[in-house]
Amino acid sequence: MSPALLGVEEEGQSNVSLAASSTSIDCISRNGCGLKERNYLGLSDCSSVDSSAVPSLSEENKNNLNLKATELRLGLPGSQSPEREADVSLLSTGKLDEKPLFPMLPLKDGICSSLQKHVISGNKRGFSDTMDGFSEVKGSLYSEKNWLFHSAGTESDSPQSVGQGTFPGSSGMNAMQLSRPSGAQSHMMKEVPQKVLQDRCHGANGTNLNQAGTSNNSSSAPAAKAQVVGWPPIKSFRKNTLASSSKNNDEVDGKPSSGALFVKVSMDGAPYLRKVDLRTYSTYQELSCALEKMFSCFTIGQCGSHGVPGKEKLSESKLRDLLNGSEYVLTYEDKDRDWMLVGDVPWEMFIDTCKRLKIMKSSDAIGLGMCFCI
């Protein structure tokens, strides 16, 4: 567990599993006596890791780890959003506000942002009403680490993250650019938690939740439920079949079609394909951003393979220029098997007809722009 992220402790939230588990958790908090470890290889002590590479800060954190790390709180849906909001605003100044604090939809295919998902589940209104009942119960005999915030921790480590792209789905280059400040930041974060804890005790509850809920809903586009990646666990084949079946039924019901719409994305020169769910985006801009991030590590051949960091980091803006500028264009194959430039038709029409995407070199795409749209 991340000591640096322990800074994001908070309390005062409802805990459904009351007395019984609290005893076992209390037990753990006394230096692991409740665990009954079979310490086969003496591996249970994390601090035996070669610490030469680790900043001295984390040594201290590791000691904290023994006590605090196992004091976890059950993250309940709907109960996280307020802390997240309060948390983030405490830890940095205005900069983080630019980021999509509650991105409704996963930014990238295949990336699970636990925080995102948690926030998403918190927006389910029906359930949050139930949870309001729980927020009264401040049965917090112990402060617990909310494991969800590990990604918040990484984010907060680097407050000067650039715009939209650096939420967990951020590409390697951003993380690397910003890794240097992290030492300093985590120090700052250690200070913060106490304040956060206190603030949290006072009423980050149902009301905040609803506020967060509404603010989320206004910022998100589709009426269909925001989708957590890979949940519910249904195979793509089945999802796609359902999606096209429901499309067929749409004309009858008038209900909006839901379900994922995965299409393959290839890039000239990239060693493998990716897949994106077109339904997670509502504009070309969003799609373009996501693809930039996904394929950033292919351009200029920089990708930290086998752990060796590439020497030149491609900045996200530079890549955007590449993609928007002369070097690459985004194209798609439509139902008639024609290759077209992306962006010519309204978004809804696009996702209806797009079968696959391809990031082509501009030189190869000459002539595609001449396609006509109805």
Partner 1 sequence: MLRMARSLPEEVLEHVFSFIHSDKDRNAISMVCKSWYEIERWCRRRIFVGNCYAVNPSMVIRRFPEVRSVELKGKPHFADFNLVPDGWGGYVYPWIAAMANAYPWLEEISLKRMVVTDETLELIAKSFKNFKVLVLSSCEGFSTDGLAAIAANCRNLRQLDLRESEVDDPSGHWLSHFPDSFTSLVSLNISCLGSEVNFSALEHLVGRCPNLRTLRLNRAVPLDRLANILRRAPQLVELGAGTYSAELRPDVFSSIAGAFSGCKELKSLSGFWDVVPGYLPAIYPICSSLTSLNLSYATIQSPDLVKLVSQCQSLQRLWVLDYIEDIGLEALAAFCKDLQELRVFPSEPFALEPNVSLTEQGLVSVSEGCLKLHSVLYFCRQMTNDALVTIARNCPKMTRFRLCIIEPRTPDYITLQPLDDGFGAIVEHCKDLRRLSLSGLLTDRVFEYIGTHAKKLEMLSVAFAGDSDLGLHHVLYGCENLRKLEIRDCPFGDKALLANAAKLETMRSLWMSSCSVSFGACKLLGQKMPRLNIEVIDERGPPDSRPESCPVEKLYIYRTLAGPRFDMPGFVWTMDEDSALRFS
CB of 34 to partner 1, least distance (A): 7
CB atoms within 10 A of CB 80: 25
- For residue 192, state whether it binds partner 1 (rule: CB under 8 A): no
- Closest CB to partner 1 among residues 275, 320: 275
Angle CA 309–310–313, to nearest 5: 115
Q: Which listed residue (13, 81, 92, 113) binds partner 1 by CB under 8 A?
A: 113
- For residue 190, state whether it binds partner 1 (rule: CB under 8 A): no
- Closest CB to partner 1 among residues 74, 141: 74
CB of 303 to partner 1, least distance (A): 3
Q: Which listed residue (124, 138, 190, 320) binds partner 1 by CB under 8 A?
A: 124
352 closest CA partner among 366, 334, 370, 331? 334
Helical residues (DSSP H) of 69-221, grouped into ranges: 81-91, 114-122, 125-135, 150-157, 172-177, 182-201, 206-219
Please answer whether residues 145 and 72 qualify as being in contact, where contact means their C-beta atoms are separated by less than 8 angstroms: yes
- Closest CB to partner 1 among residues 251, 370: 251
- For residue 320, state whether it binds partner 1 (rule: CB under 8 A): no
| CA distance readout (Å), 171 to 118, 155, 168 | 22, 13, 8
Sign of the alpha-carbon dihedral angle for 144, 227, 293, 263: positive
Residues 253-292 that bind partner 1 (CB under 8 A): 258-260, 262, 271-275, 277
Residues 132-171 that bind partner 1 (CB under 8 A): 133-134, 147-148, 150, 153-154, 157, 168-171
| CA distance readout (Å), 310 to 12, 184, 297, 368 | 44, 24, 10, 34
10 closest CA partner among 63, 109, 88, 62? 88
13 closest CA partner among 113, 65, 67, 83? 83
CB of 326 to partner 1, least distance (A): 25
Q: Which listed residue (202, 235, 311, 335) binds partner 1 by CB under 8 A?
A: 235
- Closest CB to partner 1 among residues 259, 360: 259
Please answer whether residues 119 and 81 qualify as being in contact, where contact means their C-beta atoms are separated by less than 8 angstroms: yes
- Closest CB to partner 1 among residues 225, 326: 225
Residues 328-357 that bind partner 1 (CB under 8 A): none
Helical residues (DSSP H) of 269-373, grouped into ranges: 284-295, 316-324, 347-353
- Closest CB to partner 1 among residues 94, 233: 233
- For residue 211, state whether it binds partner 1 (rule: CB under 8 A): no
Q: Residues 69-108 vs partner 1: string with x where CB under 8 A?
A: xxxxxxxxx------------------------------x
- Closest CB to partner 1 among residues 208, 258: 258
Select from 21-29, 135-143, 194-202, 342-350 the region that touches partner 1 (CB under 8 A): 21-29
Distance CA 211, CA 133 (A): 16
81 closest CA partner among 103, 51, 57, 108? 103
CB of 124 to partner 1, least distance (A): 6
